[in-house]
Structure formats: C-alpha cells, structure tokens
Structure 1
Amino acid sequence: MNEAMHPLPGVARQPEDARPPRRTRGRPPARLRRAEEKNWLGEGEGINLTLTFLRAKRDETQRRTRRPAVDLAIPKARIIPSTPKAP
C-alpha cells in the first residue's frame, strides 16, 4: 500500500523495514529478537513492558486460584414490621 492508498489522507506509510513483518506479529519473542537486531529501542522496550505486565497478570491469576473462595451466602429479604397508622 502506498501513500495514495492509505486510508487517512496526508498520512505517509512507514517503510516496510520500519514495521515488524507479518510473520512476527503476535509473537512477542520473535518481535523482540527482530527489534534487537534492527536496534529499535522503543519497540523492544514496549515488548518487554508488555511481557512483564502479562507475566504479572498470569501470576496474580494463579495466586487467586489457590486462595479459597469466600462464602458470602445468599442475602435474605428483611421483613420490616408495619407501623400502625395514626387515626
């Protein structure tokens, strides 16, 4: 896709070398290796940050599954005594 075919007018496409190729999209370790090879510091930092976040999220999920569930019971309806009406 060239500049003329870009969906937003006036926006230039990045050169092919500046973007990760399709075969590495969605595969963080492969993207990280490519970013290091191409010396894309921001890309590598972003991937590392994402991986750190995902590992922390996984650890938190595993930790929560080991904790016993708390039984909060089903709430019961309160019966409010009726007050006598004034004459």
Structure 2
Amino acid sequence: MQPGLDPAQWARLAEIRDNLIARIAEAETEGWLGEIEGLQVSLAGAEEKLRQLDAEQAGRHTAVDLGIPAFRDIAGRGGASPLPPQ
C-alpha cells in the first residue's frame, strides 16, 4: 500500500470519487471539454487509491485453510498402537 493511505479514509475517497463522476457528467453536458480530462485524471487517482485500500483490507482478512487432519494422520502419534502389527 502507498505510504500515507489511511484505511479510515475509504469513505472520504469514495465520496470524492462519486463527486468527480458527477462533475465529469456535468462537464460533458455543458461541453467543458478542457475540464473533462483533468477530472478523469483525478478520478483515476481516486479509484486507484480505493483499489489499494481494498487490496490492503483483503490481505488483512484472508482466511487460511489449516486443514483438518485425518485420523490416519494422527493415529500413530505418541504412545503404542492399540492394534498389534499385522
């Protein structure tokens, strides 16, 4: 994750992203072509930061499958076998 990104700021970044989307739509409606490119660059940056935060959060909550040992895997551990060798 990029230094300085705070997971607590996810909601604020999402709000900024949503605002940029609305501003791009307005600029397109009004024909402000020069404004659109700058807003799209800002939108791409906000979306990238959100992806980084999402990836960081997903990494923190990844489940690890430790497996469940089968009886045959643990039966021979410690002590004598209850059955005589065949």
**Which category of TM-score, normalised to the shorter sequence, fits these structures?**
0.3 to 0.5
TM-score by length of 1: 0.41
TM-score by length of 2: 0.42
